């Protein structure tokens, strides 16, 4: 056991709450750490640290040897970035909870602070305005749906003649199955701030062009796409009379390319609905 007099306490930036140590030679970065307690008698220092919690002083040499770490500026920078990402994710999850429970009117920085446990000042630093929170929710939805599309393309895309269409139908199918639907909460947000959709119009136009390029019958591709979106939005808004099994069967039908082969295509240049 090390004698009590050899314990030295070091205070760091907020990302590393406390550092403590006992005798043995290890250098530390004085630009990021300040000695608060008494130094060891031989003038040297061995360090360990913990994040977020005040740990007990270490008096056992073997225990200390298992956690020898020295903080560097890059460690601090990475830790700050990680903490910011964690806080942002926590705030978005809290916002989704509020929107699902209380609606758009219930989403304020005060309610978001209470739900997330993050200070109002920290939330204002992250999002600036309520519009910023809603934009973050829309981005969160977009990234989540892009991941669904990537996973589907990786597993099923090679077997599809129209992989982009199939991936979009798979996204709509997944959206209605989420237990805590991101899409439902974001739909509520878009009612209050429809201008948020402006940012997605360009990507939607690219998507439509890709669907058209892949399709042997572009009209049929659009019918399948908008049928899937209609089923999804009706379900998300609570307007669908369909059972889950019926809805899932319709999505499977929309995804099954073999079920759509052989249908007569509209001749190019012919006016639709004309005689």
Instruction: Locate all alpha helices (DSSP H) within the chain, ordered by sequence.
Output: 61-65, 73-102, 109-116, 120-127, 130-156, 163-175, 182-192, 198-214, 218-236, 244-255
With a cut of 90, say whether residue 61 has pLDDT above it: no
Q: Give the pLDDT confidence score for residue 153 in this predicted structure.
A: 94
pLDDT band at 191 (very low <50, low <70, confident <90, very high): confident
- List, in sequence order, every residue forming a beta bridge with 54; answer none if it has no partner: none
- Please indicate whether residue 234 or residue 237 has the higher confidence score (pLDDT): 234
pLDDT band at 45 (very low <50, low <70, confident <90, very high): very low
CB of 162 within 8 A of CB of 214?
yes
Q: Give the pLDDT confidence score for residue 179 in this predicted structure.
A: 60
- Please indicate whether residue 249 or residue 139 has the higher confidence score (pLDDT): 249
Q: Tens digit of pLDDT for each residue in 97-133?
A: 888 788 788 899 999 999 999 999 999 999 999 889 9
- Please indicate whether residue 180 or residue 249 has the higher confidence score (pLDDT): 249
With a cut of 90, say whether residue 160 has pLDDT above it: yes
Q: For residues 116 and 123, what is the distance between their CA atoms, to the nearest angstrom?
A: 10
Q: Tens digit of pLDDT for each residue in 5-22?
A: 333 333 333 333 333 443
Burial of 24 (0-12, 13-18, 19+ CB in 10 A): middle
Q: Give the pLDDT confidence score for residue 250 in this predicted structure.
A: 97
Q: Give the pLDDT confidence score for residue 128 in this predicted structure.
A: 93
Q: Give the pLDDT confidence score for residue 224 in this predicted structure.
A: 97
Q: For residues 244 and 240, what is the distance between their CA atoms, to the nearest angstrom?
A: 10
Mean pLDDT of 165-186: 81
- Please indicate whether residue 80 or residue 137 has the higher confidence score (pLDDT): 137
Q: Give the start-to-end residue ranges of the domains of the chain.
A: 4-71, 140-260
Q: For residues 71 and 110, what is the distance between their CA atoms, to the nearest angstrom?
A: 35
CB of 10 within 8 A of CB of 28?
yes
Q: For residues 89 and 123, what is the distance between their CA atoms, to the nearest angstrom?
A: 11
Q: Give the pLDDT confidence score for residue 228 in this predicted structure.
A: 97
């Amino acid at each position: 056991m090390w004698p009590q007099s050899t314990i030295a306490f070091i205070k760091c930036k907020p990302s590393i709450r406390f550092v403590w140590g006992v005798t043995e030679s290890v250098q530390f970065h004085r630009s990021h750490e300040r000695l608060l307690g008494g130094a060891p008698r031989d003038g040297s220092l061995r360090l360990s640290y913990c994040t977020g919690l005040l740990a007990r002083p270490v008096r056992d040499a073997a225990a200390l040897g298992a956690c020898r770490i020295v903080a560097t500026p890059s460690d601090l920078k990475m830790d700050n970035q990680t903490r910011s990402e964690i806080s942002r994710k926590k705030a978005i999850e809290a916002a989704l909870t509020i929107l699902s429970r209380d609606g758009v009117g219930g989403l304020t920085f005060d309610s978001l602070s209470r739900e997330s446990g993050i200070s109002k000042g920290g939330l204002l630093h992250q999002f600036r305005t309520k519009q910023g929170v809603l934009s973050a929710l829309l981005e969160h939805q977009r990234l989540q749906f892009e991941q669904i599309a990537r996973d589907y393309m990786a597993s099923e895309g090679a077997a599809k003649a129209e992989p982009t269409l199939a991936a979009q139908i798979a996204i709509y199918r997944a959206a209605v199955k989420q237990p805590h639907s991101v899409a439902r909460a974001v739909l509520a947000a878009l009612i209050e701030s429809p201008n948020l959709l402006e940012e997605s119009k360009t990507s939607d136009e690219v998507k439509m062009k890709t669907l058209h390029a892949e399709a042997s019958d572009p009209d049929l591709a659009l019918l399948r796409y908008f049928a899937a979106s209609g089923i999804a939005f009706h379900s998300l808004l609570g307007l669908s009379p369909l059972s889950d099994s019926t809805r899932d069967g319709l999505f499977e039908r929309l995804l099954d390319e073999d079920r759509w082969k052989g249908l007569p295509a509209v001749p190019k240049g012919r006016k639709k609905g004309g005689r």
